[in-house]
Amino acid sequence: MTLSETGAQAATARGARIRPPRPSSKPNGQWKVDGTEPLNANEQFKQDDSGLNVRERIEKVYAQGGFSSIDPTDLHGRFRWWGLYTQRKPGIDGGKTASLEPHELEDEYFMLRVRIDGGQLTTEQLRVIGGISTDFARGTADLTDRQNIQLHWVEVESMPEIWRRLESVGLSTTEACGDVPRVVLGSPVAGIASDELIDPTPQIDEITSRFIGDPELANLPRKFKTAITGHPSQDVVHEINDVAFVAVDHPEHGVGYDLWVGGALSTVPRLGERLGTWVAPDQVADVWYGVARIFRDYGYRRLRNKARLKFLLADWGPEKFRDVLETEYLEYRLADGPAAPKPATPGDHVGVHRQKDGRFYVGATPIVGRISGQQIADLADLVEAHGSTRLRTTPHQKIVVLDIPEDRVKSFIAGLDALGLSARPSLIRRGTIACTGIEYCKLAIVDTKDTARAAVLELEKRLGGADLPAPLSLHVNGCPNSCARIQTADIGLKGQIITDDEGNQVPGFQVHLGGGLASSDRAEAGLGRTVRGLKVEATGIADYVERIATRFAGDRDGDE
Ligand code: SF4
């Protein structure tokens, strides 16, 4: 659905107007320009001791001594290098989030992010995650929009056994958070889709095996996000990653990748930019390493809110960035290359699709990514009972199960339905994602998961088996940080406390309208716009979406 922007207050369109740090007499903390002297407490703790080193202390000291034994710098800094964040203490009002000190918001339990590069999982791995969820995380599990699975209520005492179980099946939490190369997003249909241009799995494997956990890249200015796809649906939200590779068929060189850099959302969103290069598959890991080292060496470190790669790109521009990459880091020139064509199919892979080997892959969705340890274990059983052992997580909080034989598809879909994982969801269920929100996130102002779930169920009830007039993306965030990519949705909701008609302070959302990435049905990727004064109460989302959808259905031209 393309929403009208008439009357909208422009925030950013492509987001290209962000400003790098102002030229000043103060150093910006660029290691190659200013030297490596730490300019703030964050940079200081990273230099004092690598986040990677905290694993040993967790296993040998903190797991025995419990929460109170944890050094505060480890707790609030280095733990993230192993996928651990303290979660929010229950019952603290979202209106107080900004006025309380972080330790006042903090519980003695952790969120734990399990890293799933390329979203590639086996049923054996799924069972292990389900078991950890049940045994150590009160049965919680959320599919994140970066292909990870996030658990909650984890105690530090459980971590040695959790790591033992994860690593016994080839999973890890290494650099799942922190100022490091995070999980590598990969096409959920890598290696199996009949219309795939190239299987990116070897490139993902090379990057993760060579560089994840490498101390040389364990102190970046901030997080560093990667996406790689070989599928024409461009299914990895590449425009909002620090570095991304999108398959393209070059008229002379054949299939390789179009290189993008400098995308990121948060409160200052900016879509990535193409460097105009064609990257051969066997060059991908070296090019990735070059971009990561540019970020390490030239990224701004003085101000944490100006430290993502997008600010350096805004300062340098794509021509200079490419030149530095080629001359200082690769020491060869990359071929020029074309842009990949606009996708013709959606990138969430929901539904039933034939694989290149004649079997089928089935994309299914829980509501807003929320599942449970028991559902995970039951899903593993269901998948195996239908002759498969492989599945994928997606950047849209969905699951794709591979290798289902044709004569088992119907029974498999019925089994998914019984688990609450629909392969034939309503458009609103399919298009809605939500971030962690106030239930567990210390930065949150409002609830997201339950609020969005209630809106989805209410809309489905009102539509009574009918559907929205067209696909619609509804992204729900608990604060301005945009973990649920609000600026890239038809309707993006940014959590805040608002004033209702009676003058009460209530949970609500600022509305963003009209965003979408290449994989959406927009003509081209663009960021949504804030509509000044347009806010919706948490209890009014279903009404709002229904109004928008009805107006759209009435006003649209032809099959718009
Ligand atoms: Fe937390 Fe805000 Fe991110 Fe949601 S958007 S997970 S509330 S930081």
* DSSP code per residue over 424-488: S--HHHHHEEE--GGGT-TT-SS--HHHHHHHHHHHHHHHTT---SS---EEEESSTT-TT-GGG
Positive or negative, the Cα torsion across 288, 292, 293, 295?
positive
| b/e code 367-377 from CB counts within 10 Å (16+ = b) | bbbbbbbebbb
Which of helix, strand or coil describes residue 77?
A: coil
- Amino acid identity for residue 210 in this structure: R
The pLDDT confidence band at residue 523, using thresholds 50, 70 and 90, is: low
Q: How far is the CA of 442 from the centre of ligand 1 (A)?
A: 8
Nearest atom in ligand 1 to the alpha carbon of residue 442 is: 1
Pairing mode of beta strands 181-186, 474-477: unpaired
User: Ligand 1, from 225, 305, 443: best to mutate by most atoms within 8 Å of Cβ?
Assistant: 443
- Amino acid identity for residue 552 in this structure: F
Distance CA 528, CA 133 (A): 36
Q: How far is the CA of 444 from the centre of ligand 1 (A)?
A: 5
In the predicted structure, residue 475 carries a pLDDT above the cut 80? yes
| b/e code 168-180 from CB counts within 10 Å (16+ = b) | eeebbbbbbbbbb
pLDDT (average), residues 88-103: 91
Contact 440, 152 (CB under 8 A): yes
**Predicted local confidence at residue 553, as pLDDT:** 79
Distance CA 365, CA 432 (A): 10
- Please list every protein residue whose CB sits less than 6 Å from any atom of ligand 1: 435-437, 441, 443-444, 477-479, 481-483
Residue nearest to atom 2 of ligand 1 (CA): 479
Positive or negative, the Cα torsion across 108, 480, 117, 55?
negative
Q: How far is the CA of 497 from the centre of ligand 1 (A)?
A: 15
Q: How far is the CA of 483 from the centre of ligand 1 (A)?
A: 6
The pLDDT confidence band at residue 10, using thresholds 50, 70 and 90, is: very low
The pLDDT confidence band at residue 12, using thresholds 50, 70 and 90, is: very low
Environment class of 120 (CB within 10 Å of its CB; exposed 0-12, middle 13-18, buried 19+) = buried
Q: How far is the CA of 479 from the centre of ligand 1 (A)?
A: 5
In the predicted structure, residue 2 carries a pLDDT above the cut 70? no
**Predicted local confidence at residue 559, as pLDDT:** 65
Nearest atom in ligand 1 to the alpha carbon of residue 444 is: 7
- Amino acid identity for residue 145 in this structure: D
Distance CA 483, CA 334 (A): 33
Nearest atom in ligand 1 to the alpha carbon of residue 438 is: 7
Q: Which residues fall within 8 angstroms of residue 457, CB to CB, at 6 or more apart?
A: 367
Contact 248, 258 (CB under 8 A): yes
In the predicted structure, residue 9 carries a pLDDT above the cut 80? no
Nearest atom in ligand 1 to the alpha carbon of residue 445 is: 7
Q: Which residues fall within 8 angstroms of residue 122, CB to CB, at 6 or more apart?
A: 169, 389, 390, 391
pLDDT (average), residues 415-428: 97
Q: How far is the CA of 438 from the centre of ligand 1 (A)?
A: 8
In the predicted structure, residue 11 carries a pLDDT above the cut 70? no
Residue 246, both tokens: 């999108």
Environment class of 207 (CB within 10 Å of its CB; exposed 0-12, middle 13-18, buried 19+) = buried
Residue nearest to atom 3 of ligand 1 (CA): 483
- Cα angle 449, 6, 512; round to 5: 20
Nearest atom in ligand 1 to the alpha carbon of residue 436 is: 6
Which DSSP string corresponds to 370-412?
EEEHHHHHHHHHHHHHTT--EEEE-TTS-EEEEEE-GGGHHHH
Q: How far is the CA of 262 from the centre of ligand 1 (A)?
A: 21
Report ipTM for this prediction: 0.99
Q: How far is the CA of 268 from the centre of ligand 1 (A)?
A: 15
Q: Which of 228, 130, 220, 229 is nearest to 177 (CA)?
A: 220
**Predicted local confidence at residue 16, as pLDDT:** 47
Q: Which of 93-102, 185-194, 392-401 has the lowest mean pLDDT?
A: 93-102
Quick one: residue 150, left, alpha or beta (phi over 0 = left, psi -120 to 50 = alpha)?
beta
Q: How many CB atoms lie within 10 A of CB 543?
A: 15
Q: Over the stretch 319-344, which tens digit does the pLDDT of each residue have?
A: 999 999 999 999 999 999 999 999 98
**Predicted local confidence at residue 275, as pLDDT:** 98
Average pLDDT across the chain, whole number: 93
In the predicted structure, residue 189 carries a pLDDT above the cut 80? yes
DSSP letter at 70 equals: S
Pairing mode of beta strands 335-336, 370-372: unpaired
Which of helix, strand or coil describes residue 161?
A: helix
Q: Which of 60-69, 72-81, 91-100 has the lowest mean pLDDT?
A: 91-100
**Predicted local confidence at residue 522, as pLDDT:** 66
Which DSSP string corresponds to 524-546?
S-B--EEEEEEEEEGGGHHHHHH
Question: Is the pLDDT higher at 240 or at 22?
Answer: 240
In the predicted structure, residue 556 carries a pLDDT above the cut 90? no
Q: How far is the CA of 333 from the centre of ligand 1 (A)?
A: 40
Q: How far is CA 132 from the centre of its chain?
A: 22
**Across the beta sheet with 370-372, what order do the strands follow?**
84-88, 106-114, 149-154, 140-143, 370-372
Q: How far is the CA of 86 from the centre of ligand 1 (A)?
A: 13
Q: At what angle do helices 449-463 and 541-555 cross, to 10 degrees?
A: 50
**Predicted local confidence at residue 278, as pLDDT:** 98
Q: How far is CA 3 from the centre of its chain?
A: 24
User: Ligand 1, from 441, 485, 486: best to mutate by most atoms within 8 Å of Cβ?
Assistant: 441
User: Ligand 1, from 105, 483, 496: best to mutate by most atoms within 8 Å of Cβ?
Assistant: 483
Q: For 74, how many CA atoms within 13 A lie in the half-sphere containing its CB? A: 16
Contact 224, 262 (CB under 8 A): no
Q: How far is CA 277 from the centre of its chain?
A: 25
In the predicted structure, residue 496 carries a pLDDT above the cut 90? yes
pLDDT above 70 covers a percentage of the chain that reads 94
- Amino acid identity for residue 4 in this structure: S
Which of helix, strand or coil describes residue 22?
A: coil
Q: Which of 208, 192, 183, 200 is nearest to 245 (CA)?
A: 200
The pLDDT confidence band at residue 560, using thresholds 50, 70 and 90, is: low
Question: Is the pLDDT higher at 419 or at 530?
Answer: 419
The pLDDT confidence band at residue 469, using thresholds 50, 70 and 90, is: confident
List 360's β-bridge partners, or say none: 354, 404
Nearest atom in ligand 1 to the alpha carbon of residue 479 is: 2
Q: Which of 480, 538, 539, 549 is nearest to 509 (CA)?
A: 538
User: Ligand 1, from 152, 182, 435: best to mutate by most atoms within 8 Å of Cβ?
Assistant: 435
List 432's β-bridge partners, or say none: 474
Q: Over the stretch 286-329, which tens digit does the pLDDT of each residue have?
A: 999 999 999 999 999 999 999 999 999 999 999 999 999 999 99
Q: How far is the CA of 107 from the centre of ligand 1 (A)?
A: 16
**Predicted local confidence at residue 1, as pLDDT:** 44
Distance CA 504, CA 508 (A): 11
Q: Over the stretch 101-148, which tens digit does the pLDDT of each residue have?
A: 888 999 999 999 999 999 999 999 999 999 999 999 999 999 999 999
